[in-house]
Structure 1
Amino acid sequence: QDYFHCLLCTTEREEFLVPIRAIGARAVLDFPDQLDFSVCPVKYSTQKTLMVRNLGNREACYKISTQSPFSVIPTMGTLGIGDTLQVTVEFHPLQTGDHCASLVVHYGTGENTHTSLHGSAVNVHIKLDRNSVTVENTYISLSNQSTLRIHNNSNVTAHFQWKVFATQEEEEQLKQRFCHRLCEQENAQAGNFLEWSRADTTRGERLSLLSHIFQSERAKVQRDPMLFFDDIFTIKPVEGEIWPNSSAEISVVFRPREARVYKHAVYCDVSGRETRMPLRLIGEGLGPQLHFQFEELDIGKVSVISLHRYEAILVNKGPIEGLFSLIPPTTAVGSCFTFLPQRGIIAPDGLQAISISFRTTIPGEFKE
């Protein structure tokens, strides 16, 4: 504690005051005036450790604070006279450019000291070996894969994640929508509960439990890293680390469900790069390869009313089972044909004989 007093001095001619100040014991932590992180990779944690000693003549009760993208550990505590404390200051910039902040030490006696923090964030040399992956044509129910590499030509260990969205802002917007939906569900369930439990003496506890459940669900949404997931394309590994001056092999597995072309965009979020690196995935799904041994059946001249029988062979030339079914004809002459069987499954490299019966009462030439 500090003390202050004024001493009144009186002479024959005048009076004057002599101020007397007594400064109490103080804690003094020897933080530097400034701390420079120099040039660091963006979206990467760089730490500096300070050994801080209490040079004062009383125990230090302190709190330490700073602003993003800087952080500090510990944030509060006590330190005895002459004792030493290890303080870790971290610089984790999410954007390139210069960053400045102040590290403030708040003493229990009311004084504050300031340390100037400075760091510059840059992109490092990390890249994909290509921005598009085209997987070979793949039959439905089968899978195929292709590979690419992430090259880390920097001196830091890079952590990567494959993401659905191009930016962090899009992820946060989706999380906010999910949380808003959960809030609406919570309010609706709470309203319904209050409606039918007016006489329930335990409804306060039940409402508290309901609130806790939805809080847990919202926290789970906020913790979700939003990694890439898709039923058609699979990326392995979906996250990992790449050592300095090395590369990581990434596999893209393609499992089509329909006979069509699939296109998908994914994004590689990697420490050391401010923006996510896009990758386009392309693959085509192929269906069963069913073919008749001939494309045209010439019936020739036949008598009306009489029954005529023919046979066509349906062959599966693909590596997967082929499911077939008859599309009933809608024309007058087409309804005179009967096909058996009308549906079935043909194994790979297998065949199916299709019996064709024809009987008509309509004379004349036709083509179906």
Structure 2
Amino acid sequence: MVLSLMNKDKFLHVVKVSMESSPYFQLVSSSDAYRAVPPGASAPVRIRFTPSKNRDYCHELVCLTARERIVVPIRAIGARAVLNFPAQLDFSKCPVKVSTQQTLLVRNVGARAARYQLRTQSPFSVVPATGALGAGDTVQVTVAFHPLASGAHCGSLAVCCSSGEERIHTKLQGEAVDVIVGLSTNSMEFDRTFTTMSSHRTLFIENKSNITAHFQWKAFAAEKEENEEKRRQCLLRPPKEVPQENFPEEKETEKVKGFCGDHSALLSSMDQEKMAKVKLMNQGAIDAPFTCLPSATNLGLLFKFAPEEGIIAAGGSQAVQISFRATVLGSFEEELQFSVAGSPRPAILTIKGSVTAPSLHFDLAELDFGDISFGFPYTQRCRLTSSSAVPLTFQLRMSDDGTQPAVDSVDQIRRDSDPAWSKGIHLHVEPREFTINPSGGTILPQGHQDIEVTLCSNTVMEFYRRLLVDLEGIGKGVAALIITARYQPLPGLPQALPCPGCAGCSCQGEVLLNALMLCQLDTRTAVLGQQPVVKSTFAPSPARSWALF
């Protein structure tokens, strides 16, 4: 295969192309070879691949220039396992709360053994969920449909093979219908009965379907309706002042059923802790020891209670503080339970709320410094605004900025003994040309922060950077502001400024100073004694230039 090295710069670049020794990958030309690539041109690099067996291979190619190091990953993918799952599986009409199964014969038609994993969602399930299948082998997979409510249901069967990135999706669909099961009568009237005597009537449950129906007598048709009625009765039940000695021990537990919790709603931001309070009331006639039951759901684990247990006196109440730290965006509803000693059923607290993502934005779409001079600091301002309902701790950073402090012309002219005046300025690493003030802090809800960005260019280039915002505990780069600037060379001045005198003499700065005043630049003068002096140095690298005035 052929890789093209493209020079998108305005200068000639010399590129060293190398590759570690490998029996499978070789450069057609000699390794560690140098290539000169003119501006706008490209140079081909040919790589030969010689596999020894049917498997995956990886290697890398390294390209070095005077300014950067580029690593090109090389990949060769061998044969893959291919499992022939159907594109769609239709269960048609199935009874509610009855499991319907379909068996698939799956074959590995690929050239390599596969270790696979199958995943689906309720009301669908699959057995076996994992396994290994050799090339050309077959296996039976059973997909079940067990709906709990009537209506159309759909899902997917995802197949992931460990030998590659291939994921096969089988569309699953089915319709759940209620079976024809009913009572022989919709109402029943009993004869007049004496006190302490019994009266009986008979009715029939009729199953007109072709499946076995399991039944249970309940006061409500759905569990959700039953729970709502229990909470309503609990809130409406008035406290009763009944002497404790009138109740035998086995009857005392019945009075604890008056233990209830208020409904509560929470509004939280992503990964921010939210606090709320609810009141637990004992509407019975005896003390009620309570305990918060741990939740088995992923959402329930995000709630913490204080206190987690205690005793509420008869007719009294207990305030419970609930803390919630969200990890997933969107609306939620969770039922939390409190166990009461002696009560057969726990008290249920329903919590509803919504989790929103933090919102930050800059007041500008782009921060443009315009034309800038080499070594002179320029400052622009912007504002970072938060529309979130919680405080946000932020940190600002500049993309692709260096680490060595940039050289400021104003600081340089104050140091006459600096060897840079005679030997030039040599930067060992990339300069840090941007300064952000402040670089971090906390923005209050619906607040803002004014920010100063200072650019002191030590590089001859056009700048296109991004000011990135990282939020503590939330993520990196959640907001960005584009920074642009254009390097302005010194118009009317030669590329080098030779000294008209001999070694050790002082330059006649008046001529150069007059030329500088013609430039539309921020020129500076350093006064030695009573005479203005202009000094200049030049870095030997063709990629940089430097002038101090």
Q: TM-score, normalised by structure 1?
A: 0.43
Structure ranking higher in helix proportion? 1
Higher relative contact order (CA 8 A, sep 6+): 1
Q: TM-score, normalised by structure 2?
A: 0.30
